Structure 1
Amino acid sequence: MLNTDPNIADPDGFYAELIATHEGCNEDQSAALNARLVLLLANHIGDREVLREALAAARAAMR
């Protein structure tokens, strides 16, 4: 089951690190970095059902 409850220690600090990681990237590089990050985290999770839930939740948030 996908955990959507707050679960990151120091979320503001993590967000700052995420933004800093994109520093100096152009739009294409930033998109590629995000894609690699998604694939790394998806591999870490590994559970296809959880990944399906995450895909659906991300898509639903766009509506």
Structure 2
Amino acid sequence: MTLTLTPNIPDPDGFYEELLSMHEGLTDAQSKAFNARLILILANQIGDRSILTAALKAAISPP
């Protein structure tokens, strides 16, 4: 399976706004903890270790 790097969700701008709104009122530490939990939840949903490794590599050196 190939890593999808183009928008692949309905209403990506709406999702981004929703994501930002979840951070409102959080301290920096709470925001970082939220991001970490979200990443782990989404990684578990994906489940495929090779896709997760490809995503890590793409995130450290974006195109």
Q: How many residues align?
A: 61
Fraction of identical pairs, as percent: 57
Within 2, Cα distance between the matches of 1:15 and 1:51?
A: 21
Unpaired segments of 5 or more residues in structure 2? none
Matched, 1:41 2:38: no
Residue 14 of structure 1 aligns to a residue whose secondary structure is helix
- Superposition deviation, residue 20 in structure 1: 0.6
The code of the aligned residue for 1:41 comes to: L
Within 2, Cα distance between the matches of 1:15 and 1:58?
A: 17
Unpaired segments of 5 or more residues in structure 1? none
Structure 2 matches for 1:26-37, cutoff 5 A? Answer: 26-37=27-38
